[in-house]
Copies of this chain bind each other. A is one copy, B any other.
Amino acid sequence: MKTREKIIAAAIELFNEQGTKAATTNHIAAAAGISPGNLYYHFRNKEDIIRAIFEQMDAYGLEQYQLIVNEVRPGTVESMERTFRMIQEYNWRYRFFKRELTALIMGDPLLRELFQRTHRNLLLLVRQSNEFAVSMGVLKPMSENEMALFSEEFWLLALFWLNYLEVGGEEVNDETLQRGIDLLRNTIKPRLTDEALIELAKRARGPASPG
């Protein structure tokens, strides 16, 4: 592992545990097993580290999304649930970032630009995915406006479910994650077509046979 990567890995861990304020560059250097001076050879300052982490996040998220697209048929309920679950895992992995998001992007215009670009793209992706689900006969047709609101709701729930658990003092585990999915399902349900509902019921009884 290269020094630069060691720094990033140590920083992610410390930021997640203590927040970006408490985790000083000295702490990060110590955790990475290098000297403070060396850290400054690789990064100009803390913000620079955070930006590097964001770039890693971004790439990781895209990669994970591709995995889903390759594995399950897009536009299905299963694909929506897998996406939701993936986003939670992603948010957990970089949980300091979402926790401190507003503060971070308030203090670093460059980071803000990067983040919001990704944010917009992902909302668009969610929406296209939903539109595809309509065309597949999984979701009932809806107006332009309804589609926009529904997509935004899905995206908001996915973004903040982890935060919601955290601020409520609930542990993040399989059970609470599943509740997020149940909540999502509860929202989607009235919008599913009859065929999709039947398919869903089948899947609930036992893992579906392929095809």
Interface residues of A (CB under 8 A from B): 18-19, 21-22, 99-103, 105-107, 112, 115-116, 119-120, 123, 145-146, 149-150, 152-153, 156-157, 159-161, 163-164, 166-169, 179, 182-183, 186-187, 190-191
Q: List 17 A-B contacts (CB under 8 A).
A: A19-B107, A99-B102, A102-B167, A149-B183, A149-B186, A150-B186, A152-B179, A153-B183, A153-B186, A153-B187, A156-B164, A156-B183, A160-B160, A160-B164, A163-B163, A187-B187, A190-B190
Hey, which chain B residues are within 8 Å of A22, CB to CB?
107
Hey, which chain B residues are within 8 Å of A21, CB to CB?
21, 103
Hey, which chain B residues are within 8 Å of A119, CB to CB?
167-169
A145–B120 alpha-carbon span in the complex (Å): 33
**Does A120 contact B168, Cβ atoms closer than 8 Å?**
yes
